[in-house]
């Protein structure tokens, strides 16, 4: 997020009624609320509410849609998380921040066959963009044993470090009692079609297929392919992190992840 966008959004929230409206819409989730419900819950007159909703919309914080004869308003979760990401960028020196006592931390596993390229990008991006809300790991069904150097080069070019990156087997995580995952993403077709271990906790699982950039030739084209994979994964991960994960059911989370795959 650019600093001008962040300033505009934060300025819009620096008013008591607008802040209350936005917090109510965040609580309501993606479905949002109609203007009448918002006004009734907060005790705000219609004309005053219309002004504040307009200010929030102009700042990119609120979206509206026509449903029958009513207009529904909802928080733009992507922008909200963009503000949080902007404020916490490079928090704790780029390392995963310790969760607060009240914060729910989601464990995420990104799978690919070799665990050397796409899943490495996914692990790094989830941890970088998650702001401590998620802890991501990656693994492979048949690990290559080394991380593709162009994957690390791509991350470094975007200011993301993964100093402990290594190619490892998914067997490390399929042990009951070690880690319980909330979400698992497969990013290559081979891993999606293989028989996976039985994961503790039965996490929500979705397939986000990304073309393999590792063997593209020549090297200039390979670097471009890694950049494409990075950007595609980033768009999907940003969209997923914009969801109200704390309130979604397992089935809704899977459906949302599949929609993100189709749209991005």
State the pLDDT at residue 175.
Answer: 65
Residues of the chain with CATH 1.10.10.10: 3-80
Pairing of strands 33-34, 70-75: antiparallel
Q: What percent of the chain has pLDDT over 70?
A: 88
Pick the residue with more confidence: 64 or 88?
64
CATH code, 3-80: 1.10.10.10
In this structure, what token pair is assigned to residue 171? 């067997």
In this structure, what token pair is assigned to residue 106? 């989601």
Q: Is 261 exposed, middle or buried (CB count within 10 Å of its CB: 0-12, 13-18, 19+)?
A: middle
Give the class (CATH, top level) of 91-263.
Answer: alpha beta
State the pLDDT at residue 102.
Answer: 47
Residues of the chain with CATH 3.40.50.2300: 91-263
Least confident of 17-21, 195-199, 215-219: 195-199
What is the average pLDDT across 107-126? Answer: 94
Give the whole-angstrom CA distance, residue 253 versus residue 204: 7
Do residues 191 and 169 lie in contact, with contact meaning Cβ atoms separated by under 8 Å?
Answer: no
What's the pTM value of the predicted model, to 2 decimals?
0.61
- Tell me the CA distances in angstroms from 253 to 104, 122, 173, 250, 260, one per residue in order: 16, 18, 21, 5, 11
The string of pLDDT tens digits covering residues 251-264 is 999 999 999 999 98
- The values of phi and psi at residue 135, to 5°, are -120, 120
Q: Which helix (H) or strand (E) holds 41?
A: helix 35-42
Give the whole-angstrom CA distance, residue 208 versus residue 109: 12
State the pLDDT at residue 144.
Answer: 93
The string of pLDDT tens digits covering residues 159-210 is 998 878 999 998 888 765 567 899 999 998 765 555 555 566 668 899 999 9
State the pLDDT at residue 155.
Answer: 95
Give the whole-angstrom CA distance, residue 236 versus residue 107: 17
């Amino acid at each position: 997020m650019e600093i001008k966008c962040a300033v505009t959004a934060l300025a819009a929230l620096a008013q008591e009624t607008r802040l209350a409206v936005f917090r109510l819409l965040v609580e309501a989730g993606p479905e949002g609320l109609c203007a009448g419900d918002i006004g009734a819950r907060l005790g705000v007159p219609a004309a005053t509410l219309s002004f504040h909703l307009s200010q929030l919309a102009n700042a990119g914080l609120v979206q509206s849609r026509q449903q029958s004869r009513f207009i529904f308003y909802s928080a733009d979760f992507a922008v909200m998380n963009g503000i949080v990401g902007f404020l916490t960028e490079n928090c704790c020196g780029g390392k995963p921040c310790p969760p607060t006592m009240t914060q729910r931390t989601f464990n995420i596993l990104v799978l690919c066959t070799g665990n050397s390229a796409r899943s490495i990008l996914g692990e790094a991006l989830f941890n970088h963009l998650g702001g401590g809300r998620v802890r991501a790991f990656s693994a492979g069904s048949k690990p290559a044993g080394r991380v593709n150097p162009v994957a690390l080069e791509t991350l470094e070019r975007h200011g993301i470090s993964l100093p402990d990156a290594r190619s490892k087997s998914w067997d490390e995580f399929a042990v009951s009692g070690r880690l319980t995952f909330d979400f698992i993403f497969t990013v290559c077709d081979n891993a999606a079609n293989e028989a996976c271990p039985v994961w503790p906790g039965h996490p929500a699982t979705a397939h986000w297929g990304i073309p393999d950039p590792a063997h593209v030739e020549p090297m200039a084209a390979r670097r471009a392919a890694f950049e494409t994979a990075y950007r595609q994964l980033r768009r999907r991960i940003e969209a997923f992190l914009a969801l109200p994960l704390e309130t979604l059911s397992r089935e809704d989370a899977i459906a949302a992840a599949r929609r993100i795959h189709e749209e991005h």
